[in-house]
Structure 1
Amino acid sequence: MNFGIATVMKPYPMAALEIEGRYWPFDVLKQHGIDLPALEVKALFSDWFSHISYLAHIVEHCIGDPVLNSLGLPAEEVTLGVAIQFPNKVIAVGANYASHLAEMGLPVARWEPLPFFFKPPTTTMVGPGNTVVMPARTRQLDWEIELAVVIGRRLSDASREDAMRAIAGYAVGLDMTARDWVQQPDSPIKVDLMRGKCQDTMCPFGPVIRPAQFIKDPHQLRLQLWINETPRQDANTSEMLYRIDEQLSLISQFVTLEPGDVLLTGAPAGSGVSYGAFLQPGDRIRASIEQVGVLDVGVTSPSVKAFN
């Protein structure tokens, strides 16, 4: 039975099982006699692969046992937070889709070395809902859908084979960009990734972590994004210039990856700068990755602060 791991706000963060669009909060399961390895998602990563195998048996009971089945809450009755609160590291890979490089007027090739950077996690990461706050000092807030990879085992100078085996699961990620900050032609270094990509709420993530066992081939997934129901991005992960295992292996040569860390694997064509259109308060973003999930977020005015 396919399932996901989510965080529901009660209002405190609580792990939950997601099964076919319904949610079973861990504290409710515990109250009904179910022994659970942890009550928060991040704690599951202390031994992810054993815990997820155990949770698969609990999923069977949630479906087959009438009492446990009745505990499942429909999506409209839960508020979802960031699926993992919060990883030690969020690493974003750039220049990984030829189509995006072409639309940005950049060399279409595998860049050597692989470009990557960090997104400070606790304030950039938000879950579904009206959670993206328009930065007060930007007029060019852009979108990029990305397949997010969550790490299940420690990786240091890892082979590609070990890297692939260490993947815990996948989620939908959005790498938001303040285009009028990221490119600084008058600056000696020409780029400002902190103001351009790491402002508050600029990394929506979720809505669930889909365990890797349910994704047959992460390099054959359709990615789609709509702004106010207008299609903007439509691509496939097969277009990646660096495959996921290669990304993880290369990054682990310089940075030790830990259980629960998140990797954003790059964006295809269709970001706002290519249309000459940018986000405004009131806009809705719907981001879908085949087999993984659909992440819906809304953009609010700078006066609103919404972290979950």
Structure 2
Amino acid sequence: MTRLVSTVKGIGRLEDDGEVVALLHLDAADLGAALQAGLDIASISTAEVRERVPAAQAQLIAPIPRPSKIWAVGFAYADHRYEVGYTGAAQEPVIFLKAPSSVIGTGGRIRFPKAAPDEVDYEGELAVVIGRRATDVSATDAYSFVAGFTICNDVSARDVQKGRVPGRAADVTAAKSFDTFTPMGPALATLDEFDDPDDLHLRTWVDGELRQDARTSQLIHPVPALVSYLSRQTTLEPGDVIATGTPSGVGHKRGQFLRSGVEVRIEIENIGALVNTCA
């Protein structure tokens, strides 16, 4: 499998089991810029290497630092619907948008907003990166429009989301769009080597305590269905991101909100680990 990263020195490919970053000869600052410029994922993956550096010395940024759109899915797993008491119909996905300016990479700090610092929560999710322009595509063809997968933490200010902040109406997009509220990374994994891209193991730890443990095969709406559905709402552009939703184990139902200094670690098999601390 090819795992691609964006670094402060350009686009790289992870080699030697992730121990080395091969920096590539590409005229683009990051993977998002490369996809938006019309490069396909195969040409990016096989580009000539200009330099190899130890991974520990490569400063990673989010694979797609500024997607034109971040679509996110709510109530995406049956067990999460049960834990939060959601009883809405499951025929169509529950979708909303997040601000692209909320994206940070692995190692970045999640900052609590002054407007709502007390009920900040985590959501470990599989994220889909679009590889080419998609309008009204079928679920059967959907994967041909996908560049690969990465990991996303759909950080949420629950008091803003639920309308518990005086003077503010409930607003899911605002609750999830504060600066630093979309950690993403560490890499974009291409689809060619996944045995089954629809069945990946996802786990989230908070300060070493396992909070979420699920498989993406439990998604109510699998990735091809989500890509198809969203492409009928709006054109998906190269570099757009779809955060596919979180399983059960979020903090707010147990009063376990994030606090300054804690570490959130999200792993998805064959992609890597997204690790961020809270400030």
TM-score normalised according to structure 1 size: 0.83
Partner AA of 2:31 in structure 1? V
Change (3 A) 1:224 1:277: same
Within 2, Cα distance between the matches of 1:186 and 1:262? 29
TM-fit CA distance, 1:275:
2.3
> Pairwise mapping of residues 118-197 of structure 1 onto structure 2 (< 5 A)?
118-121=97-100, 123-138=101-116, 139-184=118-163, 191-197=170-176
| Structure 1 CA distance for aligned equivalents of residues 29 and 65 of structure 2 | 12
Cα distance change of structure 1 residues 72 and 243 upon mapping to structure 2, 3 Å threshold = same
The residue number in structure 1 matching 2:249 is 270
Residue 104 of structure 2 aligns with an amino acid whose one-letter code is V
CA contact (8 A) 2:107 2:277 kept: yes
The structure that is helix-richer by fraction is 1
Residue of structure 2 equivalent to 1:220: 199
**Of residues 62, 65, 69 in structure 2, which corresponds to 1:82?**
62
CA deviation digits over 1:14-70, x for unaligned, max 9? 1111122121223xxx4xxxxx46453224311314414633xx4xxx6xxxxx7xx
Letter of the 1:24 counterpart: A
Q: Deviation at 1:134? A: 1.4
Quote the Cα distance in structure 2 between the aligned partners of 1:185 and 1:230. Answer: 28
Structure 1 residue 150 displacement after superposition:
0.4
Q: Where do 5+ consecutive residues of structure 2 fail to align?
A: none
2:208 and 2:54 map into 1 onto residues whose CA distance is 23
Matching residue's letter, 2:8:
M
**Residues 119-145 of structure 1: CA deviation (Å, up to 9, x unaligned):** 110x20000114211112220100000
How does 1:292-307 map onto structure 2 within 5 Å? Answer: 292-300=271-279
Q: Which amino acid in structure 2 is aligned with residue 88 of structure 1?
A: S
Report the Cα offset of residue 186 of structure 1: 9.5
What is the alpha-carbon distance in structure 2 between the residues aligned to residue 54 and residue 25 of structure 1?
11
Partners of 1:176 and 1:144 lie apart in 2 by: 6
RMSD across aligned C-alpha pairs, in angstroms? 2.2
Distance 1:147 1:40 in 2: 20
Percent identical: 33
Q: Which of structures 1 and 2 has the bigger CA Rg?
A: 1
Rounded to whole Å, the distance in 2 between the matches of 1:192 and 1:47 is: 36
Count of residues paired in the alignment: 274
1:47 aligns with 2:39: yes
User: For the residues of structure 2 that align with 1:50 and 1:103, how far apart are their CA atoms?
Assistant: 41
Question: Which residue identity is paired with 1:150?
Answer: V
Quote the Cα distance in structure 1 between the aligned partners of 2:52 and 2:181.
Answer: 31
- Match of 1:164, SS? helix
Q: Which stretches in structure 1 are left out of the alignment for 5+ residues?
A: 31-35, 63-67, 301-308
Give a deviation string over 1:168-213, Cα, whole Å, max 9, x none: 10001110110111012799x9631233111111000011111111
Contact 1:149/1:263 (<8 A) preserved? yes
Is the 8 Å Cα contact of residues 159 and 165 (structure 2) preserved in structure 1? no
CA distance, structure 2, for counterparts of residue 173 and residue 275 of structure 1 = 22
In the alignment, which residue of structure 1 is the partner of 2:11? 15
Give the corresponding residue for 1:102.
82
Q: Is the 8 A contact 2:13 2:45 kept in 1?
A: no
Higher-strand-fraction structure: 2
The amino acid across from 2:142 in the alignment is A
- The whole-number CA distance in structure 1 between the counterparts of 2:205 and 2:274 is 11
**Which residue number in structure 2 is paired with residue 282 of structure 1?**
261
Counterpart CA distance in 1 for 2:188 and 2:136 is 25
SS of 1:246's partner is helix
Q: Which residue is 1:25 aligned to?
A: 23
